[in-house]
A and B are shown apart, each in its own frame.
Chain A
């Protein structure tokens, strides 16, 4: 990093704070970061309330309310470069699962028809008005750099910041999570989808070979693929690969289905059907982005209604 300090504003919209916390997970490197940048505004840790002009603006979280919207616009005005930091900012993230419901439905469940809440009515004074739906950051302001990941691994964040500071393109490969996964893909005789929790699974074999859904092959690696090594299938929290995003006819479920059907005896159609039934989980992180949500074959609302209708 350079010797003159670069000014940075950090801001969060509808976020969980995990992206901010992951910055601190630079561990010892954070001191190096403090040497290179002048953090002017960071609600989590500094007491400066205004947002001065800055070279870099790091924004985590999706746009959920009109207040988020206003803050995003202000950040754009005051920062030379805006980084959409984390899956929520890039694709809408987990709260985008609310796309399946109207605001009225959500407010009703939280404040009115709630088992432990009495005399409830949804708040309507003083609080920020919710946007009709969750929006990724770039639907509200132009974004200069996208850094998905829920949260992104600190190495990518460090590299992204170093690159913006030095005015170069960040070194980040467009590889999928499979690229770093140590499990072996191999052809098996498995004939049925496996939930993964009903009996012990083989810790060294690719989940797909065992009939368990893993989104590693359709998910961009911005995490260093930590999950499959500790017994957890990838749930796609960093969002889709470039291929899925840019090719209208490719989709999470069709890609995973194709791969799993090659590795097992499970028909691709069966995999597609299972993933549609579990759509709210499998598409949890990226459904708000138009690049996923506007695909002609993406019928998320219909699938979710179907799940909720069965008893």
Chain B
């Protein structure tokens, strides 16, 4: 006889889920899975909409990474219409996007992961949040909030809005920013770069201290393959070639986004709205991960000097390919540094001035494009008709790529923690932390966001024995 447990709710993750734990006859953990409980069905509802609205509409798939969706959609429609986006159009989209990445990584590091880093995973939940950080570490908190604001304001200055930008359109960027706007973006990027350099050392220290205090975290690793994007071998978030490396860091394959269907395959679970994705390698289906850790693992190096030095130091300490899930936060910090440096370079680039928009003409066709969303590779695929109407749509989002690995990690953590009955707070915290290190954006993953309440359902032979939860 086997059993199942459910952990509900996992907070501080953008999404909505619970954990299902199946036990074997001896009461030992057999498998664990994250149940994603929400579905909005964008792949169906986009059909029949005007293709030109895809960037603005798909931004609403996820309010946590709207700029990533907008850019992926715009690039896909560029491809479907063969639009020749002017250089300034690409550079300014990328600059807008760096602003978004600064905001998103800063929110994650300080508001989502920060409380665990600064207070420890087993601290008082009432304090373990951003408000607690503001009280306990006012100087760091102020700077972190400022950094986040700068990122979001860069995104807003070029995007028209912070959440759900409107200027990213097929053909480029919908307007030519005035010299005043560009000057303010340059100033903000420069300030962000200075701030991130002040914030990096305390964050790294906190991470090291956390790993020392909770050694079990250093033991949570997943030896998986990794997928991400490189341009000339260097990590790139806006565009480039998809690269898949094995757990040993060897390149398994490189491919263009347009060929994704040959290399990736989605499955379904009958207990979750989210679909896991596997890579097809030599006739086998391989579990891989995406996101900051995946990207720093598979890139030859970073394009900008400070980030590259940070990556070199990271590798010197942890090795060439790093599997420890908690070090995701360190990888995120390296990318945050990169995004700030890259924003300064783009803002000052003379090629980012002048015409930003090419005319777009629809003919029946297909367009596939991708972007590295803050949490990993995001793919948009559209079939459009000559009237500019979407005929079919397919999306693969960051958290889906990580889903198989998340479930493997959950199984590992549950095995390590053991299952001790319905009032097992330790199990809730441990599983919750495991999920959080993946930074899953479940809204995205089911093309729905929702809360992520946590409940562990303990099952044996498919029958729920009891729930572990913390509802009042």
What is the minimal beta-carbon distance from A250 to any residue of chain B, in angstroms?
24
- A114-149 CB contact bits vs B (8 Å, 1 = yes)? 111111111111111010000000000000000000
**Contact (Cβ within 8 A) A230 B63:** no
**Contact (Cβ within 8 A) B62 A43:** no
Q: Which residues of A contact B161 (CB under 8 A)?
A: 223, 226-227
Q: Which residues of A contact B166 (CB under 8 A)?
A: 226-227, 230, 232, 235
B:435-460 near A, CB below 8 Å:
443, 448-454, 457
Cβ-based interface call for A307 (8 A): yes
Q: Which residue of A lies closest to B53 (CB)?
A: A281
Cβ-based interface call for B149 (8 A): yes
Cβ-based interface call for B268 (8 A): yes
Cβ-based interface call for B50 (8 A): yes
**Contact (Cβ within 8 A) B443 A16:** yes
Q: Which residues of A contact B448 (CB under 8 A)?
A: 14, 64, 95
CA distance A184 to B468 in the complex (A): 61
Interface residues of A (CB under 8 A from B): 11-22, 24-25, 27-28, 30-31, 34, 39, 42-52, 61, 64-65, 67-68, 71, 93-95, 97-98, 100-101, 105-107, 109-111, 114-128, 130, 150-151, 195-200, 203, 223, 226-227, 229-232, 235, 237, 278, 280-281, 284, 304, 307-308, 310-311
Which secondary structure dominates where chain B touches chain A? loop
Given A46-B131, A118-B265, A118-B266, decide whether A200 and B40 contact each other with a Cβ distance below 8 A.
no
Cβ-based interface call for B295 (8 A): no
New A-B contacts (13) at CB < 8 Å, excluding given A116-B394, A127-B37, A127-B273: A13-B451, A15-B449, A16-B64, A18-B62, A46-B128, A49-B11, A98-B45, A128-B37, A229-B160, A235-B56, A284-B49, A308-B47, A308-B48
CA distance A288 to B23 in the complex (A): 43
Q: Which residues of B contact A18 (CB under 8 A)?
A: 59-60, 62-64, 66, 163-164
CA distance A162 to B166 in the complex (A): 29
B:4-18 near A, CB below 8 Å:
6, 9, 11-12, 14, 18
B:49-93 near A, CB below 8 Å:
49-50, 52-53, 56-57, 59-64, 66
Cβ-based interface call for B282 (8 A): no
- Of the candidates B41, B59, B271, B453, the one whose C-beta lies within 8 Å of that of A98 is B41
**Contact (Cβ within 8 A) B12 A45:** yes
What is the minimal beta-carbon distance from B365 to any residue of chain A, in angstroms?
14
Q: Which residues of B contact A30 (CB under 8 A)?
A: 145
Cβ-based interface call for B39 (8 A): yes
For this complex, 20 residue pairs linking A to B, each with C-beta atoms less than 8 Å apart, are: A13-B451, A16-B66, A17-B14, A24-B148, A64-B38, A65-B37, A95-B41, A110-B275, A116-B265, A116-B266, A117-B267, A123-B273, A126-B272, A195-B388, A197-B52, A198-B359, A203-B175, A231-B167, A231-B169, A237-B56
Q: Which residue of A lies closest to B15 (CB)?
A: A17
Given A14-B448, A105-B44, A110-B43, decide whether A123 and B63 contact each other with a Cβ distance below 8 A.
no
Given A97-B49, A197-B170, A232-B169, decide whether A46 and B11 contact each other with a Cβ distance below 8 A.
yes
Q: Which residues of A contact B159 (CB under 8 A)?
A: 230
- Of the candidates B62, B112, B266, the one whose C-beta lies within 8 Å of that of A16 is B62
B:150-174 near A, CB below 8 Å:
152-153, 159-164, 166-167, 169-171, 173-174
Q: Which residue of B lies closest to A41 (CB)?
A: B11
Q: Which residues of B contact A121 (CB under 8 A)?
A: 268, 270
- Of the candidates A123, A203, A232, the one whose C-beta lies within 8 Å of that of B270 is A123
Cβ-based interface call for B312 (8 A): no
Cβ-based interface call for B385 (8 A): yes
In this complex, which of B171, B361, B449 has the most chain A Cβ atoms within 10 angstroms of its Cβ?
B449
**Contact (Cβ within 8 A) A17 B360:** no
**Contact (Cβ within 8 A) B63 A16:** yes
Q: Which residue of A lies closest to B129 (CB)?
A: A46
Given A117-B267, A198-B360, A230-B167, decide whether A281 and B50 contact each other with a Cβ distance below 8 A.
yes
Q: Which residue of A lies closest to B135 (CB)?
A: A34
The 6 closest A-B pairs by CB, nearest first: A18-B63, A231-B174, A50-B472, A231-B175, A106-B41, A47-B125
- B107-150 CB contact bits vs A (8 Å, 1 = yes)? 10001100100000000011011110010000000000100110
What is the minimal beta-carbon distance from B382 to any residue of chain A, in angstroms?
12
CA distance A116 to B278 in the complex (A): 11
**Contact (Cβ within 8 A) A17 B63:** yes
**Contact (Cβ within 8 A) B134 A34:** yes
- B378-422 CB contact bits vs A (8 Å, 1 = yes)? 000100010111001010100000000000000000000000000
Cβ-based interface call for B264 (8 A): yes
Q: Which residues of B contact A120 (CB under 8 A)?
A: 266-268, 275
What is the minimal beta-carbon distance from B211 to any residue of chain A, in angstroms?
20
- Of the candidates A31, A127, A227, the one whose C-beta lies within 8 Å of that of B271 is A127
CA distance A130 to B410 in the complex (A): 27
Cβ-based interface call for B357 (8 A): yes
In this complex, which of B20, B44, B64, B389 has the most chain A Cβ atoms within 10 angstroms of its Cβ?
B44
- B195-231 CB contact bits vs A (8 Å, 1 = yes)? 0000000000000000000000000000000000000
**Contact (Cβ within 8 A) A43 B453:** yes
What is the minimal beta-carbon distance from B161 to any residue of chain A, in angstroms?
5
Cβ-based interface call for B470 (8 A): yes
Q: Which residues of A contact B180 (CB under 8 A)?
A: none
Q: Which residue of B lies closest to A117 (CB)?
A: B266
Q: Which residues of A contact B169 (CB under 8 A)?
A: 197, 231-232
- Of the candidates B40, B126, B260, B472, the one whose C-beta lies within 8 Å of that of A64 is B40
**Contact (Cβ within 8 A) B457 A126:** yes
Q: Which residues of A contact B45 (CB under 8 A)?
A: 95, 97-98, 100-101, 106, 280
